[in-house]
């Protein structure tokens, strides 16, 4: 008997004891269907079955969670709190089945009832509480924290409406509200006792507190945060951690006041205003500055979270003096950076501490992760707005800044220009609070998200801070969880890997995939490998046929770019390549090109005109090329609508080629690059973000590199970049741009895409034209490589074999060792 089967039998025995046996699951499922949904199997809808399955799993998660909480309490473990405005979790059911290790048992239980588990899994509407990379990273990190048995809490906002649903109408993106809570959320538990007041507006006044001069904040609005908890289970362990999301409500007292004065309408208005705070996720990948509601959201969830931690610390130890020994609080970009001021405020105003000890605690509590260098994405708030909404935190920001700038003056005598550059308050363009400076000053550690990005953080946006505190700066390269992005997304690949490696231990230790290297030339493996890939391509093709109106040939090369639509990510460079191939084929119908399907997926921020125009361009080019009989299927273009975690799971396994083509120096890390590569896609990419490290790991010969380096791009820009010269010099580039301007793709409308082509020719901020030629020539090499399928499969196998580094388990270990200094605390059963 092989070890896999043996371990299955062993865990089956275990399952009888913990209510996870097939019989127990089946009975629990029927009970839940009856008692919670009020349904018999005969009349139940697919959604009823999903809800019953979800409740069946939730009960089992709760059991682990209670035991975990008890273990953490006993071990007095240090706890990581991950503060993030976004958590892009993806569907829970499939992940919990995997992490509980009961996929096969549940499937068998379902079969006994005549139910198809996969169909039930598909019923789940995912919680889209994030925009893209940053939110999904937070979700991967929660999975890894639980899997590594690290005591951790994720803190965020329970948005009533998450990221919009996208449809494509007439080639344009159309946004639809995401009413994900419409049918209830079986994974969350409302905690009616956990509620905290959060103040807004008003003014401050001094008062005498038994001889101590203190400040009182008299707000003109108090909102209540209410906690909703979702258990987050580790893989193959007993630990279950907690994601605590805050929902905003009007306070009782506020309503009573209005009622007492007979202002019924006023009371209702106040309630609506309060609840607006957690109503909707801002749909921008990189933040849109200056929105009052956004600042309120940030302060709201940060204040609730810190009050929650302080309460726990005070209740268990009778004081908050050792807060920083108990908690390590990570700021996921600057969205929660107001936490630095808020912790000071709570310690001083509520816990009556004096400034210096409060600052000692604060600056030993926070770590700050930077996720972007793009100047337009660095958050600042006008002092006017900040002070109007948060008058007391602003006073504290000023005081933090005053002390900090004294320190700078002491270190760099007479260097007032440095003082101005480093100040938390930017005085150069109206007075603005620089959140990255606040986060850096208030944290003991600052990190970037890929090696190259972390270097650029030190040498560019935070250079002055690196001069002052070099030891504060770290790198933690991003990672993604193999549970979601291999086991759940690509079960066929997972089964093949387990078979080949003789065990499923790779799911917890991705570096074990390295042993596949020895089989890279094994023809048996090649056949299985290609069969797995083809099956995934067939699935995707069928799905696209139903949802995108294109049914690509699974034998063609699937060339995929899936990510938020953004000029710096350069989806339009990809389009220029497609148009170029189209022109080559039109000019020479006998040109021998391997059939390729170009697949795009991604949402554009609703207010980002150029990104929406890029979506329209992709769909317009698709419409013409897909229908051109002369092309005869050699080229196909498909736009996958509504790219999400769920749809990503359909895409990653089916990709042959992964497009990671941002201008070097612009993509902090990227994580899609890792998800594709883990599923056997080869990468065509620039030396940007984590691409650099992916290429290092898989080997230059297994990666299609092109484009300017960050340094070259920087130098070009400094010397005055003239994109029109590239247009002049390249015949093919000129004719591709001209073809778009000719109206061929827009039913004769020559103006439609002009904003895009003009911007490229005149400004081209992301140097699309400079990189075009090298990109197109590398793409030809991709085409050649694809013809030698054996060699291609070998490269694909080596990509997967060498992905160990990009498991989020490795990232979390790095955070634990370098930054958080926390140890595992296994939960007892
Ligand atoms: F602007 N990222 C994101 F830095 O998805 F805050 N949303 C954001 O708001 C920001 C960054 C912010 C992404 C980065 O663009 C991507 O390169 C990175 O892989 C990802 O965050 C996770 O680190």
Mind listing the pLDDT tens digit for each residue in 717-760? 999 999 999 999 999 999 999 999 999 999 999 999 999 999 99
Q: Mean of the pLDDT values across residues 25-34?
A: 93
pLDDT at 6 over 90: no
List Cβ neighbours of 612 (8 Å cut-off, separation of 6 or more). Answer: 172, 173, 565, 604, 606
CA 195, CA 354: separation in Å to the nearest integer?
26
449 CB within 6 A, ligand 1: yes
User: From ligand 1's centre to the CA of 136, what distance in Å?
Assistant: 10
Q: Mean of the pLDDT values across residues 66-80?
A: 91
Q: Mean of the pLDDT values across residues 386-410?
A: 98
pLDDT at 804 over 90: yes
User: From ligand 1's centre to the CA of 351, what distance in Å?
Assistant: 35
**DSSP classification of residue 640:** E
CB atoms closer than 10 angstroms to residue 432: 21
Sorting pLDDT into bands at 50, 70 and 90, what band is 645? very high
CA distances from 618 to 166, 175, 497, 543 (A): 15, 17, 36, 19
Q: What angle do CA 169, 181, 46 make, to 5 degrees?
A: 80
Atom of ligand 1 nearest to the CA of 132: 5
User: From ligand 1's centre to the CA of 133, what distance in Å?
Assistant: 5
Query: Fold match between 77-89+126-378+439-476 and 533-805?
Result: yes
pLDDT at 262 over 80: no
Q: Which residue has the CA at smallest separation from atom 2 of ligand 1?
A: 134
Three-state DSSP at 743 gives coil
Among 156, 283, 287, 371, say which to mutate for ligand 1: greatest number of ligand atoms within 8 Å of CB.
371
Q: What is the pLDDT of residue 287?
A: 72
Count, in order, helices (H) and strands (E) of the chain. Answer: 34, 24
The token pair that represents 16 in the structure block: 């009888």
**648-661: pLDDT as tens digits:** 999 999 999 999 99
pLDDT at 443 over 60: yes
Nearest of 3, 392, 11 to residue 202 by alpha carbon? 392
689 CB within 6 A, ligand 1: yes
User: From ligand 1's centre to the CA of 668, what distance in Å?
Assistant: 7
pLDDT at 504 over 80: yes
User: From ligand 1's centre to the CA of 129, what distance in Å?
Assistant: 15
pLDDT at 420 over 60: yes
Active-site amino acid positions: 371, 563-564, 569, 671, 675
Q: What is the pLDDT of residue 536?
A: 98
Cross-strand pairs, 246: 157, 227
Torsion angle in degrees (nearest 10) through CA of 677, 683, 686, 689: 0
Q: Mean of the pLDDT values across residues 284-288?
A: 77
What is the DSSP track for 655-700? -SEEEE-PPTTT-S--SHHHHHHHTT-EEEE-S-TTHHHHHHHH-G
Nearest of 199, 76, 202, 87 to residue 133 by alpha carbon? 87
Q: Is the ipTM of this complex over 0.90?
A: yes
Cross-strand pairs, 447: 369, 474
CA 610, CA 779: separation in Å to the nearest integer?
25
Is the pTM higher than 0.95? The answer reads yes
CA 689, CA 132: separation in Å to the nearest integer?
16
As a whole-number percent, the residues of the chain with pLDDT over 70 amount to 96
86 CB within 6 A, ligand 1: no
**30-44: pLDDT as tens digits:** 999 988 778 777 889
- Residue in the structure block whose two tokens are 């972390």: 454
Q: Mean of the pLDDT values across residues 144-169?
A: 98
Q: Which residue has the CA at smallest separation from atom 3 of ligand 1?
A: 134
* Ordered strands of the 473-475 beta sheet: 189-200, 221-233, 240-250, 152-157, 79-83, 327-332, 366-369, 443-448, 473-475
448 CB within 6 A, ligand 1: no
pLDDT at 2 over 90: no
Q: Mean of the pLDDT values across residues 259-269?
A: 73
CB atoms closer than 10 angstroms to residue 164: 20
Q: What is the pLDDT of residue 1?
A: 31
pLDDT at 345 over 80: yes
Q: What is the pLDDT of residue 114?
A: 94
Q: Which residue has the CA at smallest separation from atom 21 of ligand 1?
A: 134
**510-556: pLDDT as tens digits:** 999 999 999 999 999 999 999 999 999 999 999 999 999 999 999 99
764 CB within 6 A, ligand 1: no
Q: Mean of the pLDDT values across residues 682-697?
A: 98
Sorting pLDDT into bands at 50, 70 and 90, what band is 8? very low
552 CB within 6 A, ligand 1: no
Q: What is the pLDDT of residue 263?
A: 76
Q: What is the pLDDT of residue 3?
A: 37
Among 132, 481, 663, say which to mutate for ligand 1: greatest number of ligand atoms within 8 Å of CB.
132
Q: What angle do CA 488, 92, 481 make, to 5 degrees?
A: 45
User: From ligand 1's centre to the CA of 286, what distance in Å?
Assistant: 7
CA 686, CA 674: separation in Å to the nearest integer?
14
pLDDT at 174 over 90: yes
User: From ligand 1's centre to the CA of 447, what distance in Å?
Assistant: 13
Mean pLDDT value across the chain? 95
Atom of ligand 1 nearest to the CA of 333: 6
667 CB within 6 A, ligand 1: yes
The token pair that represents 205 in the structure block: 């006044």
- Residues making up the chain, counted from first to last: 829
Atom of ligand 1 nearest to the CA of 690: 19
Among 156, 286, 450, say which to mutate for ligand 1: greatest number of ligand atoms within 8 Å of CB.
286
Three-state DSSP at 812 gives helix
Sorting pLDDT into bands at 50, 70 and 90, what band is 9? very low
pLDDT at 806 over 50: yes
Q: What is the pLDDT of residue 5?
A: 34
The domain limits of the chain are: 77-89+126-378+439-476, 533-805
Sorting pLDDT into bands at 50, 70 and 90, what band is 382? very high
CA 768, CA 760: separation in Å to the nearest integer?
7
**Pairing of the two strands 557-562 and 172-176:** unpaired
134 CB within 6 A, ligand 1: yes
User: From ligand 1's centre to the CA of 187, what distance in Å?
Assistant: 27
Q: What is the pLDDT of residue 10?
A: 39
Please give, one letter per residue, the 3-state secondary structure of 317-346. HCCCCCHHHHEEEEEECCCCCCHHHHHHHH
Domain spanning 533-805: CATH 3.40.640.10 = no
Sorting pLDDT into bands at 50, 70 and 90, what band is 260? low
Q: What is the pLDDT of residue 273?
A: 87
Q: Mean of the pLDDT values across residues 771-794?
A: 98
Q: Mean of the pLDDT values across residues 324-342?
A: 98
Sorting pLDDT into bands at 50, 70 and 90, what band is 12? very low
478 CB within 6 A, ligand 1: yes
Q: Which CATH class is domain 77-89+126-378+439-476?
A: alpha beta
CA 703, CA 153: separation in Å to the nearest integer?
38
User: From ligand 1's centre to the CA of 593, what distance in Å?
Assistant: 36
CB atoms closer than 10 angstroms to residue 671: 24
Q: What is the pLDDT of residue 289?
A: 67
668 CB within 6 A, ligand 1: yes
pLDDT at 425 over 90: yes
Atom of ligand 1 nearest to the CA of 369: 23
pLDDT at 256 over 80: no
User: From ligand 1's centre to the CA of 673, what distance in Å?
Assistant: 13
Q: Which residue has the CA at smallest separation from atom 16 of ligand 1?
A: 670
Q: What is the pLDDT of residue 259?
A: 56
Nearest of 556, 784, 805 to residue 690 by alpha carbon? 805
740 CB within 6 A, ligand 1: no
Sorting pLDDT into bands at 50, 70 and 90, what band is 829? low
Torsion angle in degrees (nearest 10) through CA of 58, 60, 62, 68: -140
285 CB within 6 A, ligand 1: yes
CA 657, CA 786: separation in Å to the nearest integer?
10
605 CB within 6 A, ligand 1: no
CA 78, CA 822: separation in Å to the nearest integer?
6
Q: Which residue has the CA at smallest separation from atom 8 of ligand 1?
A: 286
Kind and range of the H or E run holding 223: strand 221-233
How many Cα atoms are found within 13 Å in the side-chain-facing hemisphere of 329? Answer: 33
574 CB within 6 A, ligand 1: no
User: From ligand 1's centre to the CA of 683, what distance in Å?
Assistant: 20
367 CB within 6 A, ligand 1: no
As a whole-number percent, the residues of the chain with pLDDT over 90 amount to 91
pLDDT at 7 over 60: no
pLDDT at 368 over 70: yes
């Amino acid at each position: 008997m092989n070890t896999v089967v043996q371990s299955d039998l062993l865990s089956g025995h275990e399952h009888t004891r913990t209510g996870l046996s097939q019989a127990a699951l089946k009975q629990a499922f029927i009970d839940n269907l009856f008692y919670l949904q009020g349904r018999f199997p005969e009349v139940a809808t697919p959604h009823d079955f999903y809800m019953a399955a979800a409740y069946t799993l939730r009960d089992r998660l709760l059991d682990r969670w209670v035991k975990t909480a008890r273990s953490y309490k006993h071990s007095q473990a240090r706890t990581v709190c991950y503060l993030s405005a976004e958590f892009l979790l993806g569907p829970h059911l499939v992940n919990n089945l995997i992490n509980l290790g009961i996929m096969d048992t549940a499937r068998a239980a379902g079969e006994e009832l005549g139910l198809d588990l996969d169909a039930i899994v598909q019923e789940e509407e995912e919680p889209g509480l994030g925009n893209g990379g940053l939110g999904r990273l937070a979700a991967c990190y929660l999975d890894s924290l639980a899997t590594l048995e690290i005591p951790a809490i994720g803190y965020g906002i329970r948005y009533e409406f998450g990221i919009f649903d996208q449809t494509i109408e007439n080639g344009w993106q159309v946004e639809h509200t995401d009413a994900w809570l419409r049918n209830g959320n079986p994974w969350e538990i409302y905690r009616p006792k956990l509620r905290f007041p959060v103040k807004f507006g008003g003014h401050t006044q001094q008062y005498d507190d038994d001889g101590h001069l203190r400040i009182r904040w008299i707000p003109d609005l108090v909102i209540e945060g209410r906690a909703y908890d979702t258990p987050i289970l580790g893989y193959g362990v007993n630990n279950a951690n907690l994601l605590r999301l805050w929902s905003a409500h009007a306070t009782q007292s506020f309503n009573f006041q209005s009622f007492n004065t007979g202002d019924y309408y006023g009371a209702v208005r106040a309630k609506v205003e309060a609840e607006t705070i957690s109503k909707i996720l801002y749909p921008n990948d990189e933040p849109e500055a200056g929105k009052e509601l956004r600042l309120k959201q940030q302060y709201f969830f940060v204040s609730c979270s810190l009050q929650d931690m302080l309460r726990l610390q005070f209740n268990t130890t009778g004081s908050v003096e050792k807060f920083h020994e108990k908690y390590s609080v990570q700021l996921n970009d600057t969205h929660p950076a107001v936490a630095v001021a808020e912790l000071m405020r709570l310690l001083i105003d509520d816990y009556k501490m004096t400034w210096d000890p409060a600052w000692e605690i604060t600056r030993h509590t926070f770590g700050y992760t930077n996720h972007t260098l793009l100047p337009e994405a660095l958050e600042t708030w006008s002092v006017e707005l900040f002070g109007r909404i948060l008058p007391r935190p602003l006073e504290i920001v000023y005081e933090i800044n005053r002390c900090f700038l004294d320190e700078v003056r002491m270190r760099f005598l007479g260097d007032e220009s440095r003082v101005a550059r480093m100040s938390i308050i930017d005085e150069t363009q109206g007075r603005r609070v620089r959140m990255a400076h606040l986060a850096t000053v208030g944290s003991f550690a600052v990190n970037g998200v890929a090696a190259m990005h972390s270097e650029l953080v030190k040498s560019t946006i935070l250079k002055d801070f690196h001069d002052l505190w070099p030891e504060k700066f770290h790198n933690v390269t991003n990672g993604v969880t193999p549970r979601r992005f291999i086991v759940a997304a690509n079960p066929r690949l997972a089964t093949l890997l387990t078979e080949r490696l003789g065990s499923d231990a790779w799911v917890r230790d991705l570096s074990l995939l390295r042993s596949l290297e020895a089989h890279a030339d094994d023809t048996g493996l090649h056949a299985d490998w290609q069969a797995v890939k083809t099956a995934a391509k067939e699935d995707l093709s069928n799905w696209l046929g139903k949802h995108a109106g294109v049914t690509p040939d699974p034998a063609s090369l699937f060339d995929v770019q899936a990510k938020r639509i953004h000029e710096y990510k350069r989806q339009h460079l990809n389009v220029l390549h497609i148009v170029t191939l189209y022109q080559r084929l039109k000019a020479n119908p006998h040109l021998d090109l391997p059939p390729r399907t170009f697949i795009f997926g991604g949402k554009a921020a609703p207010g980002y005109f150029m990104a929406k125009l890029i979506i329209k361009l992709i769909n317009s080019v698709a419409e013409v090329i897909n229908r051109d009989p002369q092309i005869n299927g050699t080229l196909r273009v498909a736009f996958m609508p509504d790219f999400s975690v769920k749809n990503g799971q359909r895409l990653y396994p089916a990709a042959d080629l992964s497009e990671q083509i941002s201008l070097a120096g612009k993509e902090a890390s990227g994580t899609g690059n890792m998800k594709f590569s883990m599923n056997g896609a080869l990468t065509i990419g620039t030396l940007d973000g984590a691409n650099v490290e992916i290429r290092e790991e898989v080997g230059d010969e297994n990666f299609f590199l092109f484009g300017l380096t960050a340094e070259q791009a920087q130098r070009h820009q400094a010397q005055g970049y003239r994109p029109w010269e590239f247009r002049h010099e390249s015949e093919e580039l000129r004719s591709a741009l001209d073809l778009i301007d000719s109206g061929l793709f827009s039913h004769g409308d020559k103006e439609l895409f002009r904003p895009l082509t003009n911007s490229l020719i005149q400004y081209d901020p992301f140097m699309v034209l400079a990189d075009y030629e090298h990109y197109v020539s590398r793409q030809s090499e991709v085409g050649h490589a694809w013809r030698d399928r054996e060699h291609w499969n070998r490269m694909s196998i080596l990509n997967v074999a060498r992905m160990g580094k990009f498991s989020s388990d490795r990232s979390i270990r790095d955070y634990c060792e370098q930054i958080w200094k926390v140890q595992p605390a296994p939960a007892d059963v």
